[in-house]
Amino acid sequence: MDSTASIRQALILVATVALCWLAVPTQAHADDSVNVDVRVIRVATSGGAHVDTALEDLKPKLLKAFDGYENFQSLSQQDARIPSGQSHDFTLPDGTILRVTAKDTTGETLRIGIGVGNKFKTNVRVSPGNTFFQAGLPYKGGILVIAITAR
């Protein structure tokens, strides 16, 4: 396995398990639907130290979670309300489909399924109002980072 593939796999693993808490938890909707906000970010080590102003609210968490990277560019922001048990597809800038599935709510947590094309699938538990990152897809000299906030 070459070093680029090893680095990519390490980034996917690290970013997947790194839940970054950003907001005060709020209650889930009475109808068990989940509102998700999906922000796609290009992260690179070259191009000068810069964090897009559209990412100002995420800046401290991005810099901590992606130590060693210095350039963060906002590529898109989309949101959707997903009824429990259903999925919503988002198209990433490279054409890959991100599928987010509202699995269920348990107490103070939401269980969300994430699928990135045919490359990666997982389930995460997140407190309503918090954000987590999924990263690892190579994109234009950097990597795509997906920041997902669920409410």
Give the residue among 99, 88, 85, 102 at the shortest CA–CA distance from 151.
102
| Structure tokens belonging to residue 114 | 């994430």
What is the DSSP pairing of strand 34-44 with strand 142-150?
A: antiparallel
pLDDT for res 42: 95
92 compared with 106, residue with greater pLDDT: 92
How far apart CA 107 and CA 145 sit, in angstroms, is 28
Tell me the mean pLDDT in the region 64-93.
94
pLDDT tier for residue 31 given thresholds of 50, 70 and 90? low
Pick the residue with more confidence: 27 or 45?
Answer: 45
* 47 has a pLDDT exceeding 90: no
Q: How many CB atoms lie within 10 A of CB 114?
A: 19
